[in-house]
Every structure is written in structure tokens, then in C-alpha cells.
Amino acid sequence: MSDTPRSFQEIILRLQSYWARHGCAILQPYDMEVGAGTFHPATTLRSLGTNPWAAAYVQPSRRPTDGRYGENPNRLQYYYQYQVLIKPSPPNLQELYLGSLQAIGVDMDLHDIRFVEDDWESPTLGAWGLGWEVWCDGMEVSQFTYFQQVGGHDCHPVSGELTYGLERLAMYILGVDHVMDMPFNDPDAPIPLSYGDIFKQTEEEYARWNFDVANTDVLLRHFEEAEAECKTIIEQEHMDPKTGKRIVMAHPAYDQAIKASHMFNLLDARGVISVTERQAYIGRVRALTKMCADAFVQTRAGGWTGDAT
């Protein structure tokens, strides 16, 4: 068996099986537009509360401002992140992480792996943590973070989060200079497909739409509607009058926060948000995620243990 993977998807599959082998639940991508794997409720919400958690998943991520019409060798407005979240963070998380690099074909005896300070902060999630960006021969291949606070809540226990920028990492391992040239499936497959075969078209289309066509009035309205809906959901009584059950709707509300955040990113790409307004928008999204975090810790999944009765 060759130790070096032959395609983008093989790298993903190896990560999936590595983390499955190390006890993670392998989840599927969240079915909404998010800017990063951290936004998946399996990370944002599950890092809250006291219940243990271990999950790994691929998350397609959208950053409209990074669109380059598929021309830039490294920049994409739609790309994949691989995300691992383990709560509480195990003492050997660094070793586990290095093992995952080995699993995808990084020879530890030939490369220079470094943990370089990078404090992580997400103003829209009201979250921060300490950790590193992990360098392989000078290239950032992952973010490694110990969550300290999410949605304004202190994390007890602390989650360890790993985020791999899949395209960049894969390009490095496969020795590809332009992302669009990277083999997506096995190059010897009957129908070999490159990354470009799959995404060149969409990168062009979205870059044009993101930068020049998206209707900013509509985006703004969507932002405000999502914001209003999020608040409405949160304001509901915990007791569901129909079923008589206590149902705190943290996740539906959080979907709306995700939506608002994406609308903000689109507005930003359209260049209609000034520096000062930017802070205000970020503050509004943060207020939503904070509400959702407050709600989540009121759920059983979030560690709520029920009334004394």
C-alpha cells in the first residue's frame, strides 16, 4: 500500500477513518452556508455545557470575499474544512493531531512541523481560545485551539478544536501548485476528475455574483428577517403548549444566526459595509449567537439537568 494519498478525496477519507478510529463520531456537513467549520452546531453549540463530545466532519465553507474567479492558485470562495472537536480536550491531543498528519502521508522524519502561537477569536461567535497555527515546512496546515469561551460562556470542560484547511493541505501533500489542477478522485479512475473539473465553473459564477450582482437590498432584508426570526424563536416559552413538553429551540434559532452571519459576509463582499458599520453588524450577529448559546445550555444536550422536581 502506498503511503502517499493519490487524490483530494483520499485525504478526506483517510482523515475520516483516522478520527473514527480514535473515537470520534463522524458527522456530515451542516446543511447551511457557513464561513467555517466552527459554525457547525456540532462545534459551536456542543462546545458548551458539561456533556462530553467527540465529533469530526468535513464542512464546506463560504467566504465570499476570497473569491478569485478560480484563477488564484490558493484562494477560493467555497472550500472545505475538516473539523475535529473533542470535549474535554484529551491530554494527548497534540500527538493525536500529529498522528492524523502521518495518516494522510506527511512523513514526520522529513518535514518540519511547528506549533506557532495563534490566538483564535471569533467576534461573531463571541468566542475565543488559545492555541496555534500548525506549520508544515512554513505552511499553515491547521488551526489548533483550546476553546475558552463560546457565545459569551466560559467553556467547562474545555474543548480541543482542530481545523484543517483541506485544499491547501492536500495541495501540499499531492505536490500540486494550482488548486484547480488537484486530482479530486483517483487519477487512474475511468473518469478522472480534477478539483477544477468540479469547482472552476462555480468559482467563476459565485465570484461574479458575490462581488457584483447580489442584490444588496435583498441581502439586507434577509439579514434583518433572520435576526428577527432568531429573536422570536428565543423568546418562546420553554413549555411547548401543544405537546406539553419543555422544548428550548436553540438549534432553529442558531440556524437563523448562521443565516444572518452569511448575509453579512455577502454584504461585506459587495463592499457596501463601511468600517464602522462593520463593527455594528458583527455586534448584531454576536448578540444572536449569544442568545442561542444561552438557550443551548438550557437544553438537556447543553447540560441542563432539569428542575429540582
- Out of 1, 2, 31, 138, the residue judged to bind other proteins by CB under 8 A: 138
Shorter beta-carbon distance to other proteins: residue 291 or 302: 302
Question: Please, are residues 12 and 166 in contact by the beta-carbon 8 Å criterion?
Answer: yes
DSSP 235: H
| Interaction between residue 192 and other proteins (CB under 8 A) | no
Residue 139's alpha-carbon distances to 115, 164, 204, 293, in angstroms, are 11, 12, 26, 34
Q: Which residues contact 190 (CB under 8 A, 6 or more apart)?
A: none
| Interaction between residue 160 and other proteins (CB under 8 A) | yes
Which stretch, 76-84, 137-145, 219-227, 260-268, contacts other proteins (CB under 8 A)?
137-145
Closest distance of CB 184 from other proteins, Å = 20
CA distance 85 to 140: 19
CA distance 169 to 51: 32
| Interaction between residue 224 and other proteins (CB under 8 A) | no
Shorter beta-carbon distance to other proteins: residue 42 or 136: 136
Which stretch, 102-110, 188-196, 206-214, 232-240, contacts other proteins (CB under 8 A)?
102-110
CA distance 198 to 182: 11
Return the C-alpha cell found at 250. Answer: 436553540
- Out of 114, 208, 221, 300, the residue judged to bind other proteins by CB under 8 A: 114
Shorter beta-carbon distance to other proteins: residue 74 or 236: 74
Q: Residues binding other proteins: what is the number (CB under 8 A)?
A: 43
CA distance 36 to 45: 14
- Out of 121, 181, 212, 277, the residue judged to bind other proteins by CB under 8 A: 277
Q: How many Å from the N-terminal Cα to the C-terminal Cα in the chain?
A: 59
| Interaction between residue 6 and other proteins (CB under 8 A) | no
SS (H, E, C) 79-96: EEEEEEEEECCCCCHHHH
Shorter beta-carbon distance to other proteins: residue 34 or 155: 155
| Interaction between residue 305 and other proteins (CB under 8 A) | no
| Interaction between residue 303 and other proteins (CB under 8 A) | no
Question: Please, are residues 23 and 108 in contact by the beta-carbon 8 Å criterion?
Answer: no
Which stretch, 151-159, 206-214, 216-224, 252-260, contacts other proteins (CB under 8 A)?
151-159
| Interaction between residue 275 and other proteins (CB under 8 A) | yes
Residue with cell 502521518: 102
The binding site for other proteins (CB under 8 A) comprises: 72-75, 88-91, 94, 108-117, 119, 129-132, 136-139, 146, 148, 155-158, 160, 172, 177, 271-272, 274-277
